[in-house]
Amino acid sequence: MKNTFRVFISVLCLSFLAACSKDDPSPTPPTPTPLVSDLIKKVWSASNIQWDGNVQYDKTATSNLIAGYAQFKLDLSSSSSVSLTEYDGNKFTGTYSLSSDNKTLTLSSLKTSDGSEPTGTGGTLAFTISGVPTASSLVMESTTAYAKASNKKIRLSLVNP
């Protein structure tokens, strides 16, 4: 009888220990990595603008070569519509798309309210995205020279305040 009782207690203890050592049946799933298409879907302003490596605008500087970048705005908050306010105050609207590899942002059909396109672009601007955007920063460089940037490539470091 004593042996039966000991076996019973041993089995009971082992069952209790086994139950305690099991993983939580409902573990917290890992946080999914945000998609680039979701990360860029914001209104962006200029933080640092460079043409051929020369700083034209720095948000933290007391003076800038092109102070107008303080009014620069790139609105990608809609799923495919874009609004671009350039440093000279011209506002263009059109559409945007992101390449399948998330590396190229293309702004298309850009026009002002009177039908003008950004100088020398045919209404299209394309940018290579540098690194991975975050919730508050986006860095990109034009794929071609831009007439309004003295026919140089432009590097945009943008922030979402």
- % pLDDT > 90, the chain: 70
pLDDT of the residue at 31: 80
- 3-class SS shares of the chain: helix, strand, coil, % to 5: 20, 35, 45
| Local confidence band at 27 (pLDDT 50, 70, 90 cut-offs) | confident
Q: Which residues contact 87 (CB under 8 A, 6 or more apart)?
A: 46, 49, 57, 66, 68, 69, 71, 72, 148
For 95-133, the DSSP string reads EEEE-TTS-EEEEEEEE-TTS--STTTTT-EEEEEPS--
pLDDT tens string 17-26? 555 555 556 7
Residue of 98, 91, 121, 123 lying closest to 109 (CA atoms):
123
pLDDT tens string 79-115? 899 999 999 999 999 999 999 999 999 999 999 999 9
| Local confidence band at 14 (pLDDT 50, 70, 90 cut-offs) | low
Domains of the chain: 36-159 (2.40.128.280)
pLDDT of the residue at 124: 96
Residue 119, φ and ψ in degrees, nearest 5: -50, 125
Residues forming beta bridges with residue 79, ordered by sequence position: none
